[in-house]
Structure formats: C-alpha cells, structure tokens
Amino acid sequence: MRPQGYITDVYMDKMKRVETQFLMFINILGITALAVYSFLNLTQGDQADGFIELLFAFALLVSTIHLITTNKTNITRLTGSIVLTALVMNNTLSGGFANQGMMWSYIFPGMIFFLIGSRNGLYLSLILFSLLATILSLQSIGLISTPFTSSQLVSHYASMALITVMIYIYQRNNERNYSLTGELNRRLIATNRELGKQSEQYMKAQKKLYKFTQNVEKQRTDMQKMQSELLQLRTKIDSIFTGRSGGKRSTVSKNEKGSTKK
C-alpha cells in the first residue's frame, strides 16, 4: 500500500525537476549570449565591456555547475538575479554593444520574479530603479554621462517599470494560486491520513467481530456435541430400564405357568 500523500509527493518532485531543468536551460542561454557579446566587444576593441560580460558568463557557469552537482537552486537563483541587475546597470552606463544594451534590460522584469519570487523580486526592482534614477539625476546635473539622452532614459525606465509592475501582479497571483493549491494538498493529505486511521479501526473491529463469531460457532458446536452426548446417554438409560422391565415380565410369566400346572 502506498503511503499517504504519495501522489502529492510525486507531483512536487516532478515540479522540482522541471524547475531545475528550466534553470539550467536559461543559464545556458545566458552563458551563450554573454559569451557571444563578450567576443564581439573584445573584437571591436571594447575591452571593459568584453571582460565584464565574460565575468558574468563565468558566474553563471559556476552556478550552473553547482546546480548540476548539488541539485539545489538557491545559489543559481541568487547568482542569476545579481547578474541581471549588474547587466542592466552596466548596459545603462556603457551602452552595451553598439549602444543597444538598453534593449536587453527587459530581460530583468521577465526573469527576476521567477528567480527570487514576487516579494524579493519587488525589493530588488525597487533597488534597481532607485539606482537608475540616481544615474539619471547625476547625468541631468552633468556629473556623469551615458550614451543615451535623458529623455531616452526616462522613456526606457518608464516602459520597463510598467512591464515590471504587470509581471509582478501576474507572478503574485500565480504564487497565491500555488499557495492555495499547496494548502488544499495538505488538507487532502490530512484527510487521507484520517481516513486511513478510520480504515484501520474498521479493520480491527472486523477482526474482533470475526473472532467473536468464531467463538459463538465454537460454543454452538460444543452445545450440539453435548446435546448429542446427552441423547446417547438417555438412549442408554432407556435401554437399561427397558431390559429390566423385560426381565420382570419373563419372571412373572414363568410363575404363572407354574401355578397353572399345579
């Protein structure tokens, strides 16, 4: 008999395997993309961006190896979120390859909530947008410069913030549904356990009833045996009394015959 909660445990294990495989897949994609852009930047003479992207790719590679060897996702999630945040900051400051780095910033809201959840993702998003707002402010007063104009940065940040809010709401609803499903599964497991206990008690009661029935049948058999023995004993007693009565009658008959002859 399978233990209580077997189906739920199998389902959760399957979900964990799918999650691990997906993390490995996106890590491999990230490593490939970063390696390609690192090569392009290095060949174009942008040594700084090339080595930074190579460092990001190496970090993802290490986290992927850790995921494969330990099957634990925490380090991979944390590394991915840090790399995403740093990549957005670097592309904003340097412009990225051919000044198209801002286009890759939309990966952040698409992945951050999956990697670290809606709550932590929201906190990290607020930190990132605060840093981006600081960059915009410093550029506005002329302390730093980026390859983008202030209006371009504002438009980019506004669209990115809108996408972040929409994905956050969607992810939050998914997590609530997942939590509700987990609660229902826990209740189902508890109900199954209680049902199992009741079934065990029912089986014990059936065994007791079976033993009681056997005892009753045994007593009935014993009573029938005793009745049979009593009947046999009565038959013997009747035969004894019948024999004595026959002896008396024969004696009386002989006496009568003797008196007649006289």
Please check the confidence at residue 247 and state whether its pLDDT lies above 70. Answer: no
Across the range 237-248, mean pLDDT stands at 68
d(C-alpha 139, C-alpha 9), whole Å: 54
Q: Residue 5 — φ and ψ, nearest 5°? A: 80, 10
Mean pLDDT across the chain, nearest whole number?
83
Report which listed range, 2-11, 228-237, 249-258, is most confident: 228-237
For the whole model, what pTM was predicted? 0.65
Amino acid at residue number 100? Q
Length of the chain: 262
d(C-alpha 214, C-alpha 199), whole Å: 22
Please check the confidence at residue 126 and state whether its pLDDT lies above 80. Answer: yes
**Where residue 250 falls among pLDDT bands split at 50, 70, 90?**
low
Picking from 177, 187, 178, the residue whose alpha carbon sits closest to that of residue 12 is: 178
What would the pLDDT profile of 186-222 be if each residue is shown by its tens digit? Answer: 777 778 788 888 888 888 888 888 888 888 888 888 7
- Contacts (Cβ under 8 Å, ≥6 apart) of 164: 108, 109, 125, 129
Tokens of 81: 């979120």
Please check the confidence at residue 259 and state whether its pLDDT lies above 80. Answer: no
Q: What is the 3-state secondary structure (H, E, C) of the chain?
A: CCCCCHHHHHHHHHHHHHHHHHHHHHHHHHHHHHHHHHHHHHHCCCHHHHHHHHHHHHHHHHHHHHHHHHCCCHHHHHHHHHHHHHHHHHHHHHCCHHHCHHHHHHHHHHHHHHHHHHHHHHHHHHHHHHHHHHHHHHHHCCCCCCCCCHHHHHHHHHHHHHHHHHHHHHHHHHHHHHHHHHHHHHHHHHHHHHHHHHHHHHHHHHHHHHHHHHHHHHHHHHHHHHHHHHHHHHHHHHHHHHHHHHHHHHHHHHHHHHHHHC
Q: Residue 46 — φ and ψ, nearest 5°? A: -90, 80
Query: Residue 1's pLDDT is what?
Result: 46
What would the pLDDT profile of 152-188 be if each residue is shown by its tens digit? Answer: 999 998 999 999 999 999 988 888 887 777 777 777 7
d(C-alpha 35, C-alpha 106), whole Å: 19
